[in-house]
Amino acid sequence: MNLWLGAQVWDKNLLFTDAGDAGELLTEVNSVGMMGWQFDGGDDEVYYTLPTPTYIDWDNDVYYRVIYAVDSEASGQVETFTLSASETAFGVLPSASAPTAFLTLSDTAAATGVALATPWQSANSETEEGIAGTSDLLRLYVKNTTEDDTQQAYMLGLEIRYLPKLTSGPQVSNQPAPTDA
């Protein structure tokens, strides 16, 4: 199964900046019609808060990749994103800043102004700092750690591939890594 979290659904305020530190801007990428979170220096992050999906089998491998674009200055640069999560009960605020990352996703930007994707990486409930899937709310954080203020990356979204949770008991059916068909 596939879950797509496009840039427009990530937490933002009325000025189309991120709800965390208002340092990132939801904007069009190079006037080509794609919207993304503009990351223009190290430690840029956005987050998305949702009820914890109970249909994802967090005990099996769950695969993640960041879909992104870069401006003309960043072609050929390695873009690095980290993924972290905060799980809380209803009535408790999730962390406003990213906790320790459970995945690092890197890719060399091969072109500008077009959608690019990091390679798939997997994690499960046993991964250190991974998602257990046992709380009411889940907040996902994507952070761009590429240290360069002159070259801009845009996060278009996060793609998640998972095995659906079919029973209340354990399922042992780790799937091979997804491929780009």
* pTM metric for this prediction: 0.86
Q: What is the pLDDT of residues 95-108, one digit of tens each?
A: 877 889 999 999 99
**Over residues 173-177, mean pLDDT:** 68
| Average per-residue pLDDT for the chain | 84
Domain presence at residue 136: yes
Per-residue confidence (pLDDT) for residue 177, from 0 to 100:
72
Domain presence at residue 12: yes
Domain presence at residue 181: no
Torsion of CA 29, 31, 34, 40, to 10 degrees: 10
Q: Say how far apart CA 158 and CA 66 lie, in whole Å.
A: 5
Count of C-beta atoms within a 10 Å radius of residue 147: 10
What is the CATH classification number for the domain harbouring 119?
2.60.120.260
Q: What is the pLDDT of residues 54-89, one digit of tens each?
A: 889 898 899 999 999 988 766 778 889 999 999 999
Domain presence at residue 49: yes
Domain presence at residue 151: yes
Domain presence at residue 115: yes
The number of distinct structural domains making up the chain is 1
Q: How many CA atoms lie within 13 A of 23 on its CB side?
A: 15
Domain presence at residue 167: no
